[in-house]
Amino acid sequence: MKVVIFGAEQFASLAWYVLTHDSSHEVVGFTVDAAWCHTSTKHDLPVVPFERLEQYFPPKEYALLISLGWTRCNGLRAAKYAEGKMRDYSLVTYVSSRAVVWPDLQVGENSMIYEGAIVEPFARIGSNCILRNGCNVAHHAVIGDHVFMAAQAVVAGGATVGERCFLGLNSTIRDGVTVAPGCFVAAGALVTTDTEPDGLYVGVPARRRPLPQDL
Amino acid sequence: MKVVIFGAEQFASLAWYVLTHDSSHEVVGFTVDAAWCHTSTKHDLPVVPFERLEQYFPPKEYALLISLGWTRCNGLRAAKYAEGKMRDYSLVTYVSSRAVVWPDLQVGENSMIYEGAIVEPFARIGSNCILRNGCNVAHHAVIGDHVFMAAQAVVAGGATVGERCFLGLNSTIRDGVTVAPGCFVAAGALVTTDTEPDGLYVGVPARRRPLPQDL
Amino acid sequence: MKVVIFGAEQFASLAWYVLTHDSSHEVVGFTVDAAWCHTSTKHDLPVVPFERLEQYFPPKEYALLISLGWTRCNGLRAAKYAEGKMRDYSLVTYVSSRAVVWPDLQVGENSMIYEGAIVEPFARIGSNCILRNGCNVAHHAVIGDHVFMAAQAVVAGGATVGERCFLGLNSTIRDGVTVAPGCFVAAGALVTTDTEPDGLYVGVPARRRPLPQDL
């Protein structure tokens, strides 16, 4: 499928690279909001304003991949994902050939599962999620929509991670625990009990702290 | 080989799934103690009382896999393993095709090495061990019998882990350290020096705390 | 290529094993400083004094692999690497067939990337580095020369690790952070901001402590 990537920074370059080398998709361009459209090409492909994407890459012929990080607690990626769907684009999902997954893999659209990530049987991954390199989702765990799991984050058996959560580098969610929607789990944090929504959790074991306004 | 799995909860479902999709074994049923035998089928296979297992699945024709977690500091799994052997069952070992192991792999019976786990050359894994997804045993390390390593636990080069130990999610055992038998290393703990037997070790670096009676 | 390994302890045995089972190289002997040359054979191969290596294995016919750990903050490995080059030996690089790397992999000479390690696109690995099992280097990260990454150490996107750094077991370097040359990041440490040169960094988040004289 011919795919346009939303994003123009290093994270979009990474998405371009893995799709090009490890998927059946062909990346044909990049798109960002006109206000951020400071260059006309990237990796020898056109960069076009998202506001007028249909002019260049109409949704009947081209699919979209929103490759944004966890800015605004994943809210920016969620918004662009919603807008892409509303404008009738199909959203592609990428599962690395070097991710460790099983035949029963359940994953939504516009999700990316990077190399070395593990998703065990009976786990479920929502839509618009990013599972970075070497992260780990154990059996019967449920990952909601718009979640970002950083490298080596681990979610143990039967845990639940609500939508829009961010799980930092090397963070750990214990088995059976529920992380409420919108939580930000800091790098290295260990979550051992259920959390409250939209909380910032830091430390080993993790304690709640006020969520900064600018997150 | 035709195999009966001891266990009837989610962890047994996981074992059923991986054996079915990633081994030469055929799972033919489940068994639990009669007191816990609340259902007659699981995954369309019979669930039978362990006390009368020979009536349904005699040891000359069927092998056994004890797929229990770390309840009672691995003591429950050790007890059922001993009983299975005493009743003349052969116990099967599972090494995921997506575990990273070497031709010299040394591993005992009734051990399970899950996907993404790494066991380096010159390491030794005992019997009745469970090495969960993405855990890591480095060169010349020795893992005793009945050990449970949770996801992403890492045992460094030349370390020794005594029998019945539990190593929590993302826990770390430094190179050359000896973890005495029966220790419970909490999730995220970092063990930098030798431990005393049957201790609970928590924190970075890990300190000893009293082991709860109900563990 | 016929290779001589510098080192005679367990870490050299590991290098011998992986090169023998997972590379096109043939290990033909070991070498150490004469003062440490306490045995004449190892794995049925000759152990010869480094001072007179040319007599046994001349550089026109044999390559060298310096397989030393992080002794003296990688200074010993750096010194032997420099001496090997000065004496006209070519130095071999090992990338495990079970490491997760990409076609654009950039890695210098005498570096070893062990099984389960992940190196993402656009990352760069210097010369004389050791990336141990299951460690993780994300996109656009730069690893300088003579660096040792222990098992499951993770360097996030766009981070920079200066030369001669040691990253301990399960340690974490946040995205975009610069670790200055010669730093020793302890096991389990989480580095969230740029560091000063030659510092010891410990804890979550990591704080600077005096570097012991004997490191």
The answer to whether position A78 is within a domain reads: no
Query: How distant is the Cα of A88 from the closest Cα of chain C, in angstroms?
Result: 31
C-alpha distance from A27 to closest chain C C-alpha (Å): 16
Chain C residues in contact with A150 (beta carbon < 8 A): 156
**A189 plus A117 within the same structural domain:** yes
What does the alpha-carbon distance between residue C200 and residue A58 come to, in Å, rounded to a whole number? 55
Return d(Cα B202, Cα B103) in angstroms, integer: 35
In A, which residues are within 8 Å of B98 by CB distance? 100
- Per DSSP, the residues of chain A read -EEEEE--SHHHHHHHHHHHHHSS-EEEEEEE-GGG---SEETTEEEEEGGGHHHHS-TTT-EEEE---STTTTHHHHHHHHHHHHTT--B--EE-TTSB--TT-EE-TT-EE-TT-EE-TT-EE-SS-EE-TT-EE-TT-EE-TT-EE-TT-EE-TT-EE-TT-EE-TT-EE-TT-EEPTT-EEPTT-EE-S---TT-EEETTTTEEEPPPTT-
Q: What tens digit of pLDDT does each residue of A129-143 get? A: 999 999 999 999 999
Asked if B68 and B98 sit in the same domain, the reply is no
Residue ranges for chain C with pLDDT beneath 50? none
**pLDDT tens digits along A42-62:** 999 999 999 999 999 999 999
Do B101 and B179 lie in one domain? The reply is: yes
Q: Determine whether the interchain pair C116/A116 forms a contact, defined as Cβ–Cβ distance below 8 Å.
A: yes
Q: What is the pLDDT of residue C31?
A: 97
The pLDDT confidence band at residue B154, using thresholds 50, 70 and 90, is: very high
Q: What tens digit of pLDDT does each residue of B90-139 get?
A: 999 999 999 999 999 999 999 999 999 999 999 999 999 999 999 999 99
Residue A211 scores a pLDDT above 90:
no
The residue among C100, C185, C207 with the most chain A CBs within 10 A of its CB, best to mutate, is C100
The reply to whether A214 and A112 lie within a common domain is yes
Per the CB < 8 Å rule, is A188 touching C174? Answer: no
pLDDT for the residue numbered A153:
98
Query: Is C115 close to B116, i.e. CB distance below 8 A?
Result: no
A119 token code pair: 């998703």
Whole-number Cα distances in Å, C150 to A185, A187, C175 = 24, 18, 18
How close is the nearest chain C Cα to the Cα of B141, in Å?
11
Residues A190-202 pLDDT 10s = 999 999 999 999 9
Residue of chain B nearest C12, judged by CA positions = B139
Using CB atoms, list chains with 3+ pairs below 8 Å to chain B: A, C
Q: Quick one: pLDDT at residue B17?
A: 98
| Contact across the interface for A10 and C204, Cβ inside 8 Å | no
> With b meaning 16 or more CB within 10 Å and e meaning fewer, what string describes B159-172?
bbbbbbbbbbbbbb
Res. B215: pLDDT tops 80: no
Strand partners, B167: B149, B185
Q: Is the pLDDT of residue A214 over 70?
A: no
Q: Which of residues C71 and A147 earns the better pLDDT score?
A: A147
Asked if A191 has any chain C CB less than 8 Å from its own CB, the reply is no
CB-based contact (8 Å) between A170 and chain B? yes
Spatial distance between the Cα atoms of B154 and B149, rounded to a whole number of angstroms = 8
CB contact under 8 Å between B169 and A156, yes or no, is yes
C-beta of residue A201 within 8 angstroms of C-beta of residue A180: no
Mean local confidence (pLDDT), B9-32: 97
**Residue A176 scores a pLDDT above 90:** yes
Question: A134 contacts in B (CB within 8 Å)?
Answer: 134
* Cis before C205? omega within 30: yes
Indicate the SS3 state at residue B55. helix
Tell me if B157 and C10 make a contact (CB, 8 A cut-off): yes
Residues B34 and B58 in one domain: yes
- Residue B84, token pair as written in the block: 């299975």
Q: Which of A98, A115, A170 sits opposite C170 (nearest CB)?
A: A170
Query: Cβ A174–B152 below 8 Å, yes or no?
Result: no
Q: Are residues B87 and B6 in contact, defined by beta-carbon separation less than 8 angstroms?
A: no
**Whether residue B97 sits in one domain with residue B41:** no
Contact A154 B134 (CB under 8 A): yes
Average pLDDT value over all residues in chain B: 96
What is the least distance, in Å, from the CA of B119 to any CA of chain C?
Answer: 9
CATH number at residue A154: 2.160.10.10
Final residue belonging to a domain, choices C67, C84, C106: C67
Which chains are adjacent to chain C, needing at least 3 Cβ pairs under 8 Å?
A, B
Three-class SS state of B42: strand
Q: Find out whether B81 and B110 touch, Cβ atoms under 8 Å.
A: yes
Q: What is the distance in angstroms between the Cα of A55 and the nearest Cα belonging to chain C? A: 32
Of the residues B86, B119, B146, the one at which a domain ends: B86
Closest residue in chain C to residue A12, using alpha carbons only: C139
Of B140, B170, B175, the CB nearest to C170: B170
The answer to whether position A83 is within a domain reads: no
For residue B73, what are the CA distances in angstroms to B142, B161, B209? 19, 14, 15
CATH of the domain at B36: 3.40.50
For residues B200-212, give the mean pLDDT. Answer: 91
Residue A21 at interface with chain C, using a CB cutoff of 8 Å: yes
What span, in angstroms and rounded, lies between the C-alpha atoms of B70 and B186?
A: 12
Pair (B82, B58) in one structural domain: yes
Give the torsion sign (CA, A47, A53, A54, A57). positive
**Predicted confidence (pLDDT) at residue A120 exceeds the cutoff of 70:** yes
Collect all residues of chain B within an 8 Å Cβ-Cβ radius of residue C18: 121
Q: Shortest Cα distance from C88 to chain B (angstroms)? A: 31
Q: How many CA atoms lie within 13 A of A215 on its CB side?
A: 18
Does C104 contact A17 at a Cβ distance shorter than 8 Å?
A: yes
CB pair distance less than 8 Å for B115 and A120: yes
Q: Do B198 and B103 have their domain in common?
A: yes
User: Parallel, antiparallel, or unpaired for β B207-209 and B200-202?
Assistant: antiparallel
The count of structural domains within chain A is: 2
Residue A213 predicted with pLDDT over 70: no
Residue B112 sits in the same domain as residue B183: yes
Q: Answer whether B143's CB lies under 8 Å from B124's CB.
A: yes
From B121, B138, B204, residue closest to C151, measured CB to CB: B138
Does A180 reside within a domain? yes
One domain, residues B98 and B188:
yes
Q: How many CA atoms lie within 13 A of C98 on its CB side?
A: 22
pLDDT at A24 over 90: yes
Rounded distance between C-alpha atoms, residue B28 and residue C7, angstroms: 51
3-class state of residue C35 by DSSP: helix
- Segment B166-190, tens digit of pLDDT: 999 999 999 999 999 999 999 999 9
Give all chains having 3 or more CB-to-CB distances under 8 Å with chain A. Answer: B, C
- Residue B197 maps to a domain: yes
Identify the burial level of C43 via C-beta atoms within 10 angstroms of its C-beta, where 0-12 means exposed, 13-18 middle and 19 or more buried: middle
**Is A163 inside any structural domain?**
yes
> Whole domain around residue A122: which residue ranges?
94-215
pLDDT of C213 reads 66
Task: For residue C183, give the amino acid letter.
Answer: C
Distance from CA of B46 to the nearest CA of C (A): 38
CA distance to partner chain A, nearest, from residue B188 (Å): 7
Kindly state whether B100 is in contact with chain C, defined as any CB-CB distance less than 8 angstroms.
Answer: yes
Band the pLDDT of B213: cuts 50, 70, 90: low
Of B86, B101, B122, which marks where a domain is finished? B86
Q: Is residue A18 part of a domain?
A: yes
Q: Note whether B81 and B97 are same-domain residues.
A: no
| C38 domain-assigned | yes
Same structural domain for residues A114 and A207?
Answer: yes
Q: Does B120 touch chain C (CB under 8 A)?
A: yes
Is residue A89 in a domain? no
